[in-house]
Amino acid sequence: MSPLDPHFQPFVTHLNQHGNGGDPLALTLIGEGGRATTFHATVSAENPGRVVRLLKFLLWSRGGWKVEVRGPGWAAELLAREYSPSGARSFDAAMMETVYGHPFEVVVGGGAPPEARTATKAIGGHLDGYRIGFDLGASDFKIAAVAEGEVIFSEEFPWDPKSQTNPEYHFDHLQSGLQLAAKKLPRLDAIGGSSAGVVVDNDLRVASLIRSVPPGEPTRRAQQLFKRIGEAWGVPVEVANDGDVTALAGAMSLGVKGILGIAMGSSEAAGFIDREGCITGWLNELAFAPVDEQPEAAVDEWSGDRGVGALYFSQQATNKLLPAAGISVPEEMGLPERLKEVQRLMADGDLRAAAIYGTVGTYLGHTIPLYARFYDFDHVLLLGRVTTGRGGEILIERARNILAEHYPVEASRIALHVPDEKSRRVGQAVAAASLPSLRP
């Protein structure tokens, strides 16, 4: 199935397996401000692991601090046990508590599921005045100075935030980039940002960028990074999850709505703009959502789980496939440099590198239909370093072929888009610049 990963088992095929018969199941996730979303499925006690993985996908796509289970008793008991502090999915439960600031719980729901309650809002698209946009990744961050909608300066800055224990590292590095961009503008009216992780009201709740910062006051200062930037500059600052900004970049450049954005960088970032042109308030942290059900799938070093998106649509994916491709790199070489080596080989026509991109494209072709089960979109925008160059072309071509061969219904309505080379690398920073409104 996959050139370098023949045992890949797409999660979407497992969602369609009910065993003999099956029972109806409704999972309602409750989030901030009473936001509620319900997903209906048919489940069987013959495949209990499918129920656990289904809730995991829902938690990282839609998010919530409370789960109401309406269905067979065994399913409610299993989910309550697995997502308890001592359960196998304790990481997911603990992260939901961190994101929403509320104890996580799985309960048996009574009566019919509640009506859907959303937290949709319009996002970005403001390009008046003089702005700076930034995009924070795990290996570099990007800065763009935008004057009345025109990019007049853009730059990428290497950094290593994940291993830093001092939150001033993050603040000082971002400040230095902003100062450089500000010198290119006659004045500064606003700053917009895109960041890996979960951002709520400019608060960086959960992010690998600050994972090494000690708990307590240091972590709180790290979480307030963007608010501190606003205080330092005295202008409106608005920061959103990098996935949502990816989707925004697509909506702005393509002039469409109903779009899923996927950025393949240091990790996987995803965002969603609905058919009204709004974000939904969903979590969209698909880096932690399952895509592969093979028992020996690679393990994510942060969550400890197998087969999640971060290891299939990112620099981590290309690194994971190096041994199978027969490509050797020095042990001390970092992930960004390993991707550059694969890109160099690809530019030289190396078939081993082509196989890596073909495998990632296979992953993508089987995962877009999975995402379409949970999101209503007709367009997918692909960004990030993994999609650049000839390798990116192979990746996308392979994904389209997989869709056409295995999922003709989805292939007939879902279009894959890629921006030009420059936009792939700095497009998120430009879209981020458009987040703040200058109007009261």
Give a yes or no: residue 115 inside a domain. no
Same domain, yes or no, for 269 and 228?
no
What is the identity of the amino acid at 274? D
If one counts the domains in the chain, the total is: 3
Q: CB-based contacts of 156: which residues, under 8 Å, 6+ apart?
A: 140, 141, 142, 143, 425, 426
Q: In whole angstroms, what is the distance from residue 266 CA to residue 385 CA? A: 8
Same domain, residue pair 282 and 381: yes
Q: Can you tell me the mean pLDDT for 170-198? A: 95
Is the domain of 269 the same as that of 387?
Answer: yes
Assess if residue 262 is contained within a domain. yes
Tens of pLDDT, residue by residue over 112-169, are 999 988 888 888 889 899 999 999 988 889 999 999 988 999 999 999 999 999 999 9
Contact (CB, 8 A) for 435 and 132: no
The CATH number given to whatever domain includes residue 135 is: 3.30.420.40
* Element (DSSP H or E) covering residue 179: helix 167-182
In terms of domains, do 234 and 270 share one?
no
Query: How far, in Å, CA of 259 to CA of 66, rounded?
Result: 27
Q: Is 60 exceeded by the pLDDT of residue 328?
A: yes
Per-residue pLDDT tens over the stretch 140-153: 899 999 999 889 99
pLDDT recorded at residue 51:
95
Smallest CA-to-CA distance from 435 within 90, 262, 195, 157 is with 195
**Residue 200 sits in the same domain as residue 279:** no
pLDDT, tens digit, for every residue of 249-286? 888 888 889 999 998 988 998 999 999 989 888 999 99
Residue span of the structural domain in which 263 resides: 247-429
For residues 284 and 378, membership in a common domain is answered with: yes
More confident residue, 432 or 426: 432
Residues 6+ away with beta carbon under 8 Å from 402:
361, 362, 364, 365, 366
Establish if 169 belongs to a structural domain: yes
**Residue 380 and residue 278 share a domain:** yes
